[in-house]
Amino acid sequence: MQQADTAGSTRGARRAWAIAGLPDLGLAEAAPILSVGAAVIGRLHQSVADWLDARTEAAPGHRVSAMVLYRNYLDWAKSEGVSANEIVSLTAFGKALTHCGLGSIRANVVYRIGLRLID
């Protein structure tokens, strides 16, 4: 928002982003990244891939706390009857999200960028 304010508007910020040669962060590009990422980690952590498909959607620019995501994953796993040995640790969960191409930022907590929870 601050950058949009400095640029005069969201449209101005987008124009400056494009002029700088930075990639378009539109929803059309984010969805395939999640799909490909989920397919890749599906071989490593099937429960995380299944959770991504069931409970998240691509949302460029959106951020959500990594702990909120992990708690949602644990709730989902319990409701789906995922066995305890198939549930991954917080560290493995974070690595799986990174392998999906989901960035993170650290403030007072860690946030994951580019997806949102759905019901």
SS (H, E, C) 22-40: CCCCCHHHHHHHHHHHHHH
pLDDT for res 3: 42
Res 80: pLDDT: 95
Distance (Å, whole) CA 102 – CA 60: 10
Under 8 Å CB-to-CB from 93, ≥6 apart: which residues?
45, 48, 69, 70, 73
- Which fold does the domain 26-117 belong to in CATH? Arc Repressor Mutant, subunit A (1.10.10)
Q: What is the mean pLDDT of each run of 10 residues along the chain (119 residues)?
A: 46 57 51 50 72 90 94 96 92 89 88 90
What per-residue confidence (pLDDT) applies to 112?
93
Q: What are phi and psi of 38, to 5 degrees?
A: -65, -35
Contacts of 19 (CB under 8 A, 6+ apart): none
What does the domain layout of the chain look like in residue ranges? 26-117
CA atoms within 13 Å, Cβ hemisphere of 17: 13
> What DSSP state is assigned to residue 106?
E
pLDDT at position 32 is: 47
